[in-house]
């Protein structure tokens, strides 16, 4: 009974994080802001949801598959988010007009000048 | 204009509440699955009306992660384990597809 309660609390928290992340994906003004909100919230939310399902199921084959899915999400989702952000910045998608500083662009320009100086 | 839109939304919500649209008798798991599907509807809005291509790629990636959660809840509700097989394969394919889309967006070749 206590296991059922803990599992349902984890599942509810995961659904809430999912919903908030998707709300950020709708409302935020920029590609990078949307990527930050959506990736962090939805990854953590889905991982919490799957952990709740694992607590409800226990150590069956279903539970082990759920644990495998949690490990896989934690390993792969930041890599995909990093690749998408890098590709968006390299393909000159503009930042939102309220943004203050773009250190990645400055760093990129600096590295390019350094390469030219060496060559 | 803004006040008129708020009033129209409130009128629609009041009509739906008066017609018992929000009364939904089901187990709690089915209600949670409905919330997840509603989130997936929002993500589809971002897929259709993304201003740039990166928005659509992000939305498809997030849709993959959301559908893993939905499949886990469905497997819990039906008490059958093969839903997690589908979810694992979906996670693998979604990850590879996101990386491939990111490389194409960056303008590099796939074997670079």
Of A115 and B79, the structure prediction assigns the larger pLDDT to: B79
pTM: 0.83
Give the tens place of pLDDT for each residue, A30-76.
888 888 888 888 888 999 999 999 999 888 889 899 999 999 999 99
Q: CA of A51, closest CA in chain B: separation in Å?
A: 10
Q: Tell me whether residues B36 and A60 touch, CB distance under 8 A.
A: no
| ipTM (interface pTM) | 0.83
Instruction: Give how far the C-alpha of residue B36 lies from the chain's centroid of Cα atoms, to the nearest Å.
Output: 7
To which residue do tokens 């979604």 refer? Answer: B94
Residue A69, domain member (yes or no): yes
Of B13 and B22, the structure prediction assigns the larger pLDDT to: B13
B84 in Cβ contact with B68 (< 8 Å): no
Residue A105, domain member (yes or no): no
Residue A109, domain member (yes or no): no
* pLDDT recorded at residue B111: 66
Q: Tell me whether residues B62 and A22 touch, CB distance under 8 A.
A: yes
A37 in Cβ contact with A21 (< 8 Å): yes
Residue A13, domain member (yes or no): yes
* Cα–Cα distance, A63 to A78 (Å, whole number): 24
Residue A17 belongs to what domain range?
2-94
* pLDDT recorded at residue B52: 84
In chain A, the number of structural domains is 1
* Residues 6 or more apart in contact with residue B14 via CB below 8 angstroms: none
**Hey, what are B95's tokens?**
């990850």
Query: In the structure, what pLDDT confidence band is assigned to residue B79 with cuts at 50, 70 and 90?
Result: confident
A:12-51 residues touching chain B, CB 8 A cutoff? 12, 14-15, 18-19, 21-23, 25-26, 31, 34-35, 38-39, 42-43, 45-46, 49-50
Closest partner CB to B69 (pick from A46, A83, A87): A46
Give the tens place of pLDDT for each residue, A78-115.
899 999 988 888 888 888 888 888 887 788 777 776 55
Residue A50, domain member (yes or no): yes
Q: Tell me whether residues B69 and A21 touch, CB distance under 8 A.
A: no
């Amino acid at each position: 009974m206590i296991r059922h309660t803990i599992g349902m609390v984890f599942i509810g928290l995961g659904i809430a994080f999912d919903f908030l992340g998707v709300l950020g994906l709708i409302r935020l003004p920029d590609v990078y802001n949307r990527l930050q909100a959506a990736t962090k919230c939805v990854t953590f939310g889905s991982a919490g949801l799957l952990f709740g399902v694992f607590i409800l199921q226990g150590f069956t084959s279903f539970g082990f598959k759920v644990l495998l899915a949690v490990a896989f999400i934690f390993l792969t989702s930041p890599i995909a988010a990093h690749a998408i952000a890098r590709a968006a910045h390299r393909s000159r998608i503009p930042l939102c007009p309220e943004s203050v500083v773009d250190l990645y662009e400055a760093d990129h320009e600096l590295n390019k000048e350094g390469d030219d100086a060496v060559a | 204009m803004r006040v008129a839109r708020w009033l129209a939304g409130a009128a629609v919500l009041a009509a739906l509440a008066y017609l018992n649209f929000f009364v939904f008798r089901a187990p709690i798991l089915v209600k949670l699955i409905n919330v997840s599907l509603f989130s997936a509807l929002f993500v589809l809005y971002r897929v259709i009306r993304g201003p740039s291509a990166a928005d659509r790629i992000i939305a498809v990636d997030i849709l993959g992660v959301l559908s893993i959660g939905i499949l886990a809840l469905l497997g819990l509700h039906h008490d059958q384990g093969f839903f997690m097989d589908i979810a694992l394969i979906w996670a693998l394919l979604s990850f590879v597809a996101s990386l491939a889309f990111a490389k194409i967006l960056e303008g590099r070749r796939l074997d670079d």
